[in-house]
Amino acid sequence: MSGKGDDVEAKDFVPLEPEEDAEVASSLSPSSTTTDAGADEDWLAAEVASGTTFASSGAMMLTEAQDLHPMARSIAILVLVVSLLGFVNGLDFASPETGLVRPDEFVYAMTAAAPDDSAVFRGTVVDVAGQPVEGVLLYLSWEDDGIWRSSESTTDANGTFRMENLTPSLTRVDLILERGNNTDVLSHRVLLSPPALFEPYGFTSLEFTFPSASEFAAAPCNNGADECEIREIDMTPFEMDHPLMDPSAAGLYILLGFGFMGLALIAGGFATAAMLTGSEALVRIAAVLSLFTMGHFYSACILGTMAVVLTFLVPKRFVPLTT
C-alpha cells in the first residue's frame, strides 16, 4: 500500500551519486570502526593499568606539579636582583666616608619625623692640652618652622655640659669664653640626633676642643681691625655639607650597613634554594627578606614589595599522576 505518509518519506530521501555512496560505505566499513575502537580500548586499558584513569568515566587522577612554576622562577630571579641592590646599599652604608649616602644625611632625614623636645645634647669642652675648661657658655640656636629658637648652658668644673628638651635638627653651637678683656667665640654646626627606635629621647655626645688664646689672637677680626674685643673662630663654613654628629650614631649607621648586606645574602640564598627545590614558599620568604634591604632610593623596598605580591598570584599547576 502506498499512502500519503509514504510519499512524504520518499521526498525526504535524495539518492546518492555512486562516488558519494562509495565513500559512505567505506567509512562505515567494519574494518575501519574496529581499528579505531581497538586503539581507544588499548589506550584506556593502559591508563587503567597504570592506576591513573577510572575505567567507568575515563577521568584521570592529577597531582600538583613539583617543579617551580615559570612565573615563580621569574620572581626568584627578580628577588636575586633585589638582593643585589640591597647588598650594594649595605656596602654604601658600611663606607660612610665614600658612600653615596653619608651618615649625617641619613640621620638628618630621620629628624624630619622626630617629635619636638626629644633631643639631649651633652659633652665636654677641653683645651688644646686636653684639660677641661670651666665656665664656657654654650649657646645653641636653630630654626623651627621659620622661627629661630635658642638654648644655653655652661660647663662645670669638669668641663661637662648637658642640655635637654631640644629639637632634633641642624643646630649652630657657639662656645663663648671670657678671657681678660676679650670674648673668644668658637662656632660649630651640629646635628642633634633624633630618638632611635622606641626610645623617648635621642642623645648627642660631643667633645669640643677650645682653641688657645694665641689662636684667637691670630684670627682676623670681623671688622678688619688689627685687634678686636670679640674674637671668633667660625668652623661652620667647613661643616655645611657634613656637620658634627654623635660618633655612636655613625657607628650605628655602619652596623646597619652590615645588616643590609647580611639580609641580602640570606634573601639571595633562599631565592637560589627555591629554584633548586621548586618551593614557592622559599620564593615568598626570599621576597619578604629582600624588601628590608632598602636599596638606594628605596629601590629594594619597592621591588621587594612587588615580588611579595606576585608570589600570591602564581597559578597552581597539575600534571597526571604517575605510578
* High-pLDDT (> 70) share of the chain, %: 78
Is 280's pLDDT higher than 50?
Answer: yes
**Entry field: residues in the chain:** 323
CATH for the stretch 117-241 = 2.60.40.1120
Q: How far apart are CA 86 and CA 73, in angstroms?
A: 20
| Residue 322 binned pLDDT confidence (cut-offs 50, 70, 90) | low
| Residue 68 binned pLDDT confidence (cut-offs 50, 70, 90) | confident
Of 249 and 290, more confident: 290
Q: How far apart are CA 121 and CA 204, in angstroms?
A: 5
User: Domain limits of the chain?
Assistant: 15-60, 70-93+253-316, 117-241
What pLDDT is attached to residue 4?
Answer: 47
Ranked by mean pLDDT, the top range of 41-45, 125-129, 223-227, 253-257 is 125-129
- Predicted model pTM: 0.63
DSSP 60: B
| Residue 198 binned pLDDT confidence (cut-offs 50, 70, 90) | confident
Relative to beta strand 119-126, strand 160-166 is: antiparallel
